[in-house]
C-alpha cells in the first residue's frame, strides 16, 4: 500500500473508533439522564395532581365539620385528625405529615408519619379551611417524593451497570474487530505492494524483451530483404546460366564434329578421334541435362500452383498409363489401394511429384526381385499422408544424406535429377516430403496433402 494512503486509512480507522465511542456515550446519556428525568417529571405531575385533589377533599371535609361546630372545632383535635386521615386515605401516594393551624397560630393537628427515610425529599400542599364564609385555618399536607425517585434510582443504577458493560465490551469488541481488519488490511497492503513491485519488475523485463524483439524484427526484416535479393539474384543467374550456356555447348559440339571431319581427311586414326568426339558429345549432353534440371527447378517458383478437388485414384491410373513403357522396361509393377481419397491439390504438380518418386524408386530396384511400387494414403487430424513404398534397396544404401539434392549420382560417371524439385513442389502445395524405412524392406517416400473442408 502507498504510504500516504496507508496513513489516511489509519486516520479513518481512528475516526471510526472515536465516532463509535461518541455514539455509545450519547446512548448512555439518553438512557441514564433523559429517560429517568422524563420519568421523574411525569411522576411529579401525576403526584401533584393527585395530592392537590386529595388535599382539597380533606380541606372540604374539615371545613364542613368546622361549619357545624364553629365554636368548638379548635378543641376537637382528635376528631379533626380522624376526619383528615379518612379524607387522605387511599391513593398511590401517602402523606408523611399533616398540619392544621388556626388563624391565631394554634396547631390543631400535627401528625407525622414515623419511619420516613428521607424527610427532606418531600413536597408540601396547602389548602384553606373555612367555616362556610371566611377562612379560619390552614391545612398543610406533606407528601414524600421518595416513591418517585425509588424506581428511577433502581433503573438508573441498572442502567449505569448496563452501560458500563456495554461501553466496555462494545468498545473492546469493536476495537478487536478494527484491529483485526487493520492488520488484515496492512497484510494485504504489503502483499499488494509486493505484487505491484513484481509487476513493475515484470513490466520492465517485458519492456526490455519488447525492445529486443523489435531489434530482432528489424534485423529479421533486413535479413529477409537480403535473402529476397539473394534469391532474386540466384534466379537471375540460374536463368542466365541455363539459357546462355546452351549456345556455347552447341558451338563446342559443332567444332568438335568439324575437327573430326578434318582429321578424317588427313588419314589419321579415325577411331581415336571419334572416341574423343563421343566423350565431348557425352559431356555436353550431361551438361545439357543438368542445365535443364536447374532450369526446371528455378521455374517452379513462378509456376501455377492453383489447387482444386481431384481424385487421387484417377490420377494414379493416368500416371500408370504414361509410365507403362518405363515400368515394363524395368520389370516393375505399380500398384495403389482402391480407396485413395479426394484431395485438394494441383493435378499437374501432384502428378509430377508422383512420377519423380516412381522414377527415383526404379533407380534403386534389386535385379533379382520383382520391383513393386505401392501407393497408399492414410488420414490424420488435419491432412492426408500419401506413401510411395517399394521393395528395393534399403534407405540407408540410397545415400539418404544426398537423396533430396538437385543432382545425384546415378551410374558411374553420370548424374540424375534428385528429389529437390519434388520436395519444393510439395512444399509449395502446402505439405512436406520425407523418406523413411519401409516395414518389409526397401524405402517409403511420404508427403502430406491438405484434407478437403
pLDDT in tens, 360-378: 999 889 988 899 999 999 9
Mean pLDDT of 77-88: 81
Residue 16: inside a domain, yes or no?
yes
Residue 67: inside a domain, yes or no?
yes
Q: DSSP states of 221-254 as a string? A: HHHHHHHHHHHHHHHHHHHHHHHHTHHHHHHHHH
User: Is the confidence at residue 211, as pLDDT, over 50?
Assistant: yes
d(CA 221, CA 46): 104
Query: How would you classify the pairing of strands 122-130 and 135-144?
Result: antiparallel
C-alpha cell at 283: 559431356
Cβ atoms 273, 264 nearer than 8 A: yes
d(CA 146, CA 71): 40
Distance, CA of 126 to chain centre: 88
What angle do helix axes 77-88 and 35-68 make, rounded to 10 degrees?
A: 140
Tracing cell 486516520 back to the chain, one arrives at 11
User: 416 and 322 share a domain?
Assistant: yes
d(CA 389, CA 371): 11
User: 155 and 266 share a domain?
Assistant: no
User: 66 and 195 share a domain?
Assistant: yes
Domain boundary among 284, 299, 314: 299
User: 202 and 257 share a domain?
Assistant: no
User: pLDDT tens for residues 228-237?
Assistant: 655 555 555 5
User: 313 and 286 share a domain?
Assistant: no
d(CA 128, CA 420): 142
Cβ atoms 351, 425 nearer than 8 A: no
Residue 85: inside a domain, yes or no?
yes
DSSP state of 34: I
User: 312 and 256 share a domain?
Assistant: no
User: Is the confidence at residue 120, as pLDDT, over 90?
Assistant: no
Q: How many CB atoms lie within 10 A of CB 314?
A: 12
Higher pLDDT, 223 or 59: 59
Q: What is the mean pLDDT of the chain?
A: 79
User: Is the confidence at residue 127, as pLDDT, over 90?
Assistant: no
Mean pLDDT of 87-112: 80
| Domain membership of residue 132 as a residue range | 1-215
Nearest by Cα to 3 from 184, 182, 186: 186
User: 179 and 284 share a domain?
Assistant: no
Query: How would you classify the pairing of strands 371-379 and 342-345?
Result: unpaired
Q: Dihedral of CA 240/245/246/251: which sign?
A: positive
Residue 228: inside a domain, yes or no?
no
| Residue 1: band (very low, low, confident or very high) from pLDDT cuts 50, 70, 90 | very low
User: 369 and 435 share a domain?
Assistant: yes
User: pLDDT tens for residues 312-363?
Assistant: 999 999 999 999 999 999 999 999 998 899 999 999 999 999 999 999 999 8
The alpha helices in 69-145, defined as continuous H runs, are: 77-88
User: 183 and 126 share a domain?
Assistant: yes
d(CA 335, CA 290): 31
Q: How many CB atoms lie within 10 A of CB 402?
A: 13
Residue 278: inside a domain, yes or no?
yes
Q: How many CB atoms lie within 10 A of CB 273?
A: 18
Domain boundary among 276, 299, 322: 299
C-alpha cell at 98: 399533616
User: 196 and 339 share a domain?
Assistant: no
Residue 421: inside a domain, yes or no?
yes
Question: How large a percentage of the chain has pLDDT more than 70?
Answer: 76
Residue 229: inside a domain, yes or no?
no
> C-alpha distances in angstroms, 207 versus 195, 196, 216, 379, 434?
18, 16, 14, 45, 41
User: Is the confidence at residue 61, as pLDDT, over 90?
Assistant: no
Cβ atoms 259, 294 nearer than 8 A: no
Mean pLDDT of 76-99: 80
Residue 198: inside a domain, yes or no?
yes
User: pLDDT tens for residues 398-448?
Assistant: 888 888 887 776 665 566 778 888 999 999 888 999 999 988 889 999 999
Domain boundary among 279, 299, 319: 299
Question: How large a percentage of the chain has pLDDT more than 90?
Answer: 19
Q: Dihedral of CA 421/425/428/433: which sign?
A: negative
- By residue count, the chain amounts to 453
Q: In what order do the strands lie in the sheet with 433-437?
A: 332-336, 371-379, 383-390, 443-450, 433-437
**Any idea what the CATH number is for the domain that residue 342 is in?**
3.30.565.10
User: 23 and 47 share a domain?
Assistant: yes
Q: How many CB atoms lie within 10 A of CB 295?
A: 15
User: 254 and 310 share a domain?
Assistant: no
* Count: domains in the chain: 3
User: pLDDT tens for residues 264-292?
Assistant: 655 555 676 677 777 777 777 777 777 77
Mean pLDDT of 9-17: 69
Q: DSSP states of 77-96 as a string? A: HHHHHHHHHHHH-SSSS-EE
Query: How would you classify the pairing of strands 342-345 and 383-390?
Result: unpaired
Amino acid at each position: 500500500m502507498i504510504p500516504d494512503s496507508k496513513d489516511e486509512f489509519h486516520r479513518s480507522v481512528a475516526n471510526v473508533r472515536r465516532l463509535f465511542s461518541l455514539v455509545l456515550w450519547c446512548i448512555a446519556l439518553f438512557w441514564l439522564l433523559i429517560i429517568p428525568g422524563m420519568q421523574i417529571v411525569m411522576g411529579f405531575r401525576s403526584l401533584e395532581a393527585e395530592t392537590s385533589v386529595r388535599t382539597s377533599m380533606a380541606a372540604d371535609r374539615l371545613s364542613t365539620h368546622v361549619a357545624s361546630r364553629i365554636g368548638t372545632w379548635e378543641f376537637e383535635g382528635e376528631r379533626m385528625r380522624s376526619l383528615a386521615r379518612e379524607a387522605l386515605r387511599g391513593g398511590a401516594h401517602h402523606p408523611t405529615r399533616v398540619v392544621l393551624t388556626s388563624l391565631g397560630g394554634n396547631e390543631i393537628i400535627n401528625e407525622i408519619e414515623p419511619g420516613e427515610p428521607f424527610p427532606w425529599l418531600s413536597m408540601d400542599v396547602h389548602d384553606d379551611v373555612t367555616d362556610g364564609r371566611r377562612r379560619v385555618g390552614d391545612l398543610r399536607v406533606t407528601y414524600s417524593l421518595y416513591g418517585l425517585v425509588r424506581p428511577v434510582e433502581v433503573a438508573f443504577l441498572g442502567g449505569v451497570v448496563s452501560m458500563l458493560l456495554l461501553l466496555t465490551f462494545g468498545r473492546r469488541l469493536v476495537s478487536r474487530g478494527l484491529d483485526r481488519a487493520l492488520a488484515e488490511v496492512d497484510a494485504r497492503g504489503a502483499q499488494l505492494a509486493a505484487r505491484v513491485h513484481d509487476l513493475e519488475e515484470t513490466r520492465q523485463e517485458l519492456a526490455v524483451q519488447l525492445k529486443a524483439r523489435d531489434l530482432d524484427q528489424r534485423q529479421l526484416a533486413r535479413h529477409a530483404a537480403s535473402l529476397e535479393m539473394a534469391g532474386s539474384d540466384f534466379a537471375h543467374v540460374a536463368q542466365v546460366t541455363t539459357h546462355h550456356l546452351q549456345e556455347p555447348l552447341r558451338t563446342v559440339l559443332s567444332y568438335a564434329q568439324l575437327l573430326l571431319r578434318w582429321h578424317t581427311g588427313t588419314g589419321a586414326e579415325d577411331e581415336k578421334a571419334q572416341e574423343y568426339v563421343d566423350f565431348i558429345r557425352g559431356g555436353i549432353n550431361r551438361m545439357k541435362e543438368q542445365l535443364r534440371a536447374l532450369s526446371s527447378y528455378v521455374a517452379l517458383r513462378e509456376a501455377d500452383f492453383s489447387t482444386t478437388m481431384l481424385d487421387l485414384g484417377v490420377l494414379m491410373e493416368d500416371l500408370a498409363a504414361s509410365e507403362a513403357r518405363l515400368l515394363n522396361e524395368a520389370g516393375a509393377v505399380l500398384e495403389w489401394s482402391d480407396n485413395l481419397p479426394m484431395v485438394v491439390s494441383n493435378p499437374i504438380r501432384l502428378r509430377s511429384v508422383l512420377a519423380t518418386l516412381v522414377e527415383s524408386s526404379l533407380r534403386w530396384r534389386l535385379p533379382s526381385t520383382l520391383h513393386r511400387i505401392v501407393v497408399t494414403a492414410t488420414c490424420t487430424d488435419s491432412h492426408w499422408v500419401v506413401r510411395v513404398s517399394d521393395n528395393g534397396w534399403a534407405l540407408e544404401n540410397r545415400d539418404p544424406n544426398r537423396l533430396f539434392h538437385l543432382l545425384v549420382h546415378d551410374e558411374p560417371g553420370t548424374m540424375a535429377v534428385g528429389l529437390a524439385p519434388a520436395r519444393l513442389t510439395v512444399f509449395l502445395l502446402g505439405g512436406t516430403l520425407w523418406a523413411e524405412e519401409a516395414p518389409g524392406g526397401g524405402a517409403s517416400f511420404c508427403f502430406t496433402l491438405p484434407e478437403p473442408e
